[in-house]
Amino acid sequence: MASNSISIQELDKSNKPSKVEEKLIRLLSEFVDMIASDANVDLGCTPKFHTVIQQLCEKAPEVARTIAKTMQESITNSRGRKRKLAEDPSYRPAKLRRQRIGFPASMSEQKPESDKVLGGSTKSHNEHLLKPSPSLHDLHDHSSQAGGCGEEGNDVLPAGVLATMASKALATSSEEPLRRASPQSVPYTEPTSSKITTVTPTKQTERRLSSPQTEEIQRKAILTSLESITSTGQSTRMRLFPNRRSIIDLTIKATRTICHLSKHKDGVPSDVHKRVLQSLQQAQLGVSAECTHQNHWSDGSMWVQVLEMGESRKDRGTIQNMLEYIGAWEWYNTQLELAKKTVTTKKNKPVKQRGAAMHVMDQIQNRWIGGVGIVTLQEGNSHYLSGSDPASISAEEKHLQRNRISMQLNRGKLCSKLVKELGLGILFDENIWAYVKSGMEEVDNIIKAIQADAGHMKLLQILAPQLEHLVKIGLPDLHIFYKDLKEAKLLSESELRQLEGRFALEGDPLPDSQLEAEIDRLIRDVNIKVLDQTTFGRNDTIAINNGMEIPCDIFDRLRPGRWLDSWTINALMQISDKPAFVKHDLSIPLDQKSGNNVLRPIKHPLRAWATKIAKFREEARKASGELVPLVFFCPINHKGQHFSLLEINEREKVIRHYDSMAKVTTRLRMTEVVEEQFGDLKFPYEEVPTPQQDDGWSCGIRTVWNFRHLSNNLPIGSGDTVLNPERMMLEVVEGLTACVESGAMTKYIRRRRSDREKRPPT
């Protein structure tokens, strides 16, 4: 309809009012037809709709008055008819007209002291400051009272409410057509929560009239503002979370949060986001998916870890946000009390709550806002500029800033109350954002419900020290948390053992025989589901993703204490999640046995790997049509007894070596062979601190684990990081089990001897 729109100025200047009227009626009819044809239209939730109504009232008050009058008459004429089921019996237009915008219905007849405005009387020409013009806030408040708006609700704005808003807007615009409602007089309304709340309408008491009780309806919470934060009055009773949560459910969710925060301190590396963005951009340019993604099955474990890291970063940020809100609120509240004692009105009387709030907010804006830099955008109550000149932009930005600060301080007040009543542990609650976006009465109800649950209160007491650990050290302490849980006896011993097994750190030992049991299950599944037999034969082999031949004896090598060979390492690297630019192959030995069974260094040991790298480059060039920087990983076999991992990174132009049993002699040897073969690249060479092993068998699985993380740019820790090799092995065993279940593992089809890949020395 944008192309058919008519401005108010065009209507005033038109010399042919009959044609204009015809066009308006036609457009209005189209508007009605569109509304009637789509049941999901909800103009009450569209900020632009409120802006357009406001502009109509300001620029063409007579037209707006006519529309409002006609709508009111239509409503009056329809009252004698049988009421439709969809109507809300609690809606009373007459009551809304008398009621002050921004205060609960029960306060409509009251005059709180906080109504007084700083700097003058509450009457005369300043009286309009206490009566907000029908701004976006007003429209939003009324739409909430009419049934709410959000994802779950699709009720359109009732005509009576629209008429009432128009009447209010006209009454104000006739006095001051272009005046905007000030943030001092318009209460802040939090963005509606996604949580559906249950509301039971109460009996109306005004004029001793009552409306019958109706069935429970679903609507969003109607929230309060900062500057009316200390106002009293009865608000609509709501329950954010009607179902009581069990102590097991609460403990599981708290444990998950503590575990993830303990494991992932730094969040998701930015390279992961860059890769995803790059793949999206290349897909838009029509680049083949094979150039951006692996086109075969993988176990997905790395992406699960990425999601955990992202969740951990979100939880950490939420807790930090809440502490910031609390700190800002406590400072603001102190300044508020100070202003009540030092600031006076023009009549030389101490200001009340509202005047003090306005004074402090004015100080914040005038003194500090200009230098804060980037400010987080407000989540709701969007405003649209009424003009494009610098003055209107400056005024609009100041208006938005005031609302934003008001919102944040309001959250700080609610969060401070939650912490004081329930303890610091409440900041770990998954619903903390919903709590601070609710109203004071709802928060009071939440506090009462939690305090009535002894188990929940005990859990919050246990969580409080964990928050102190998180803030002071950067990480909570999962082991202390388990110890406190045990002493509190919130769970049975069996439940606690299950919890410890499910949520553990990477250095924690596995329960006895768990790895053995998982390997036995894997071998059984391979025999039955892949080879269609009961036990392995001597020459049984399988393939993963229709790749190279893998002998079935590798599965027994996964048992604790067994040393992995190069074929097993390569197979485990093959099923790992990795970007398409990551390439790997079988391990490269640095030494070989001579005729008398003596190990001798191989001349130019990395030459074969350099040839393979050139082949990978050419394949990537053919797939994309241009030279693509790749990342190459190659396990290095030292004297047939130890594996390390070599990385040649063309994207970062660096060569790195990761050794879980770092020795000076090994470092010198690797420096020499790398310089010999790849010195022409002019890449710097680094020996990277790597988690160390304290046994003689886990180098193979550590090489695989390092590859799985490094190929996705995930951290592996440092030299003093403790990692349990059995947990590493369990991760790949579970991946192989998933490989069987997905059908990516198949029986290897033998080809002619000359075509089969030869197994290198291990």
Give per-residue pLDDT as tens, 105-155. 333 334 334 333 333 333 443 433 333 434 333 433 443 333 434 434 444
DSSP letter at 110 equals -
Q: Locate tokens 């206490």: which residue? A: 130
Considering the chain, what percentage of its residues have pLDDT values greater than 70?
Answer: 67
Q: Is the pLDDT of residue 416 over 90?
A: yes
Give me the mean pLDDT over the 323-345 stretch: 94
- What's residue 365's pLDDT? 81
* Residue 474 reports pLDDT greater than 90: yes
CA pair distance 475, 315, nearest whole angstrom: 12
pLDDT higher than threshold 70 for residue 213: no
Count of beta carbons in the 10 Å neighbourhood of residue 134: 25
Cβ-Cβ contacts under 8 Å for 540 (sequence gap 6 or more): 531, 551, 552
The full set of domains in the chain, from first to last, is: 245-369+393-499 (no CATH), 512-745 (3.40.395.10)
CA distance 637 to 564: 11
| C-alpha dihedral, 219 to 224 to 230 to 231, nearest 10° | -70
**Distance of alpha carbon 269 from alpha carbon 274, whole angstroms:** 9
CB-CB contact of 188 with 407 (8 Å): yes
pLDDT of residue 50: 76
Give tens-digit pLDDT for 641-693. Answer: 999 999 999 999 999 999 999 989 899 999 999 999 999 999 999 999 999 99
Q: Does residue 183 register a pLDDT over 80?
A: no
The pairing of strands 631-638 and 599-601 is: unpaired
Q: Which two structure tokens, joined as six digits, stand for 165?
A: 């808003």
Higher pLDDT, 529 or 175: 529
- pTM: predicted TM-score of the whole model, two decimal places: 0.65
Residues near 265 by Cβ (< 8 Å), separated by ≥ 6?
A: 474, 475
Query: Closest Cα to residue 589, out of 611, 568, 605, 572?
Result: 605
* 250 neighbors 456 (Cβ within 8 angstroms): yes
The helix/strand/coil state of 380 is coil
Residue 623: count other Cβ atoms within 10 Å of its Cβ.
14
pLDDT in tens, 701-750: 999 999 999 999 999 999 999 999 999 999 999 989 999 999 989 998 87
Measured CA to CA, the distance from residue 757 to residue 740 in angstroms comes to: 23
Residue 315 neighbours by CB under 8 Å, 6+ apart:
257, 260, 261, 428
Could you give the 3-state DSSP secondary structure of residue 241? coil
Q: Quick check: 623 pLDDT over 90?
A: no
Whole-number Cα distances in Å, 171 to 54, 128, 168, 650 = 12, 11, 5, 70
Average pLDDT estimate for 70-79? 70
What are the two backbone dihedrals, phi and then psi, of residue 646, each rounded to the nearest 5 degrees? -110, 135
Higher pLDDT, 284 or 536: 536
pLDDT tens, 495-547? 999 999 999 999 999 998 999 999 999 999 999 999 999 999 988 999 888 77
- Edge-to-edge, what's the strand order for the sheet holding 238-239? 217-219, 197-199, 238-239
Pair of tokens at residue 686: 């680094």
Rounded to an integer, the average pLDDT of 627-640 is 93
- When the pLDDT of each residue in the chain is averaged and rounded to a whole number, the result is 76
Distance separating alpha carbons of residues 382 and 208, to the nearest angstrom: 39
Lowest mean pLDDT among 170-174, 280-284, 435-439, 621-625: 170-174
What is the per-residue DSSP string for 380-427? S-----S--SHHHHHHHHHHHHHHHHHHHHHHHHHHHHHHHHH-GGGG
Position of tokens 């000359």? 754
Distance, in Å, from the CA atom of 555 to the CA atom of 525, rounded to the nearest integer, reads: 11
Give the three-state DSSP class for 621.
helix
What does the pLDDT read at residue 221? 37
Helix locations, 42-84, DSSP H: 47-59, 61-78
pLDDT at 491 exceeding the cut of 60: yes
3-state secondary structure of 648: strand
What would the two tokens of residue 717 be?
Answer: 């820790």
The H-or-E segment that residue 644 falls in is strand 642-649
Q: DSSP strand E in 215-362: where?
A: 217-219, 238-239
Q: Are 130 and 355 in contact (CB under 8 A)?
A: no
User: pLDDT digit string (tens) for 303-312?
Assistant: 889 999 999 9
Range from 9-18, 85-94, 403-412 carrying the lowest mean pLDDT: 85-94
Of the pLDDT bands very low, low, confident and very high (cuts 50, 70, 90), residue 389 is: low
Rounded to 5 degrees, φ, ψ at 699 are: -60, -35
Q: Is the dihedral of CA 597, 599, 602, 603 positive or negative?
A: negative
Phi-psi region of 147 (alpha: psi -120 to 50; beta: other; left: phi over 0): left
Q: What is the pLDDT of residue 28?
A: 84
Concatenated DSSP letters for 146-182? TT--SSS--PPPPHHHHHHHHHHHHHHHTT-TTPPPP
Q: Is 588 exposed, middle or buried (0-12, 13-18, 19+ CB in 10 A)?
A: buried
How does DSSP classify residue 558? G
SS3 for 402? helix
Which backbone phi and psi does 296 adopt, to 5 degrees? -135, 175
